[in-house]
Amino acid sequence: MRIATWNVNSITARLPRLLAWLEKTGTDVLCVQETKCAAEQFPAEALREVGYESAVNATGRWNGVALISRVGLDDVTTGLPGGPEYDGAQEPRAISATCGAARVWSVYVPNGREVDHDHYAYKLQWFDALKAAVTDDAAGARPFAVLGDYNVAPTDDDVWDPALFEGATHVTPAERAALAALRDTGLTDVVPRPLKYDHPYTYWDYRQLAFPKNNGMRIDLVYGNEAFAKAVSDSYVDREERKGKGASDHAPVVVDLDL
């Protein structure tokens, strides 16, 4: 099975590239973040025409997650059970389903904005709810993984210049502690570092030539339980998909499993 995660930064804008990428890579399951569309606008029919089912959690122009699968899509859970609200609503940031032999989540963790912003406190609350929601599956015997845009760089090696991020979100001790607590449920980062290059970043800002300069961050992660991790045969960040006209500011992260 080939499974991937990709923050597409608008599935409508990225659809031609996404369809071409699915065909080129033969991906079986794709976890999508930042669909930036209402559920009824999601291109389910275009995906169905090329052999993929879809499950979507999306409400409008911001956020939104989805699962796209050609190996089954069963027992779908839309949303984060027990998740906090922001501005009076639970944002569409999580969806899970059983795809073939594995149970997977697609998550788009809140950005946090600034350390003194209430969105930062919301981010930490969201992590707490995610930990509670996945604990049983993380400790279980079935292959299980939480894939997505975590909006946290796990270590200083996962940002191009740690000094520039001092005091900012994505690298604070509290965010990294929340990530560590999630791993403590029985999950591990299944995309090792380094890969084929020293800094396998997954996100580069559109501004200030960040991608050509490789001023990036590794914030798109694949955390799997023991059964999932043991099945991993290969993994990579598809930097090529960040190149060219009409690219997302994130690259897909791909994991191959023997299941």
Q: Which residue has the tokens 């996962």?
A: 158
* pLDDT tens per residue across span 216-233: 999 999 999 999 999 999
What's residue 120's pLDDT? Answer: 98
Decide: 249 and 221 in contact? Cβ < 8 Å.
no
As given in the structure block, the two tokens for residue 46 are 């275009």
Contact predicate 186/226, CB 8 Å: yes
Specify the fold of 2-257: Deoxyribonuclease I; Chain A (3.60.10)
Give residue-wise pLDDT tens across range 26-74. 999 999 999 999 999 999 999 999 999 999 999 988 899 999 999 999 9
pLDDT of residue 194: 56
pLDDT at 169: 97
Q: Name the pairing type of β-strands 144-149 and 102-108.
A: parallel
How far is 246 from 74, CA to CA, in rounded Å?
A: 32
Give the tokens for residue 1: 């099975």
Q: Kindly report whether the global pTM for this prediction surpasses the value 0.75.
A: yes
In angstroms, what CA-CA distances link 39 with 6, 8, 35, 131, 177? 18, 16, 9, 26, 33
Rounded to whole angstroms, the Cα distance separating 253 from 231 reads 16
pLDDT < 70 regions, the chain: 193-199
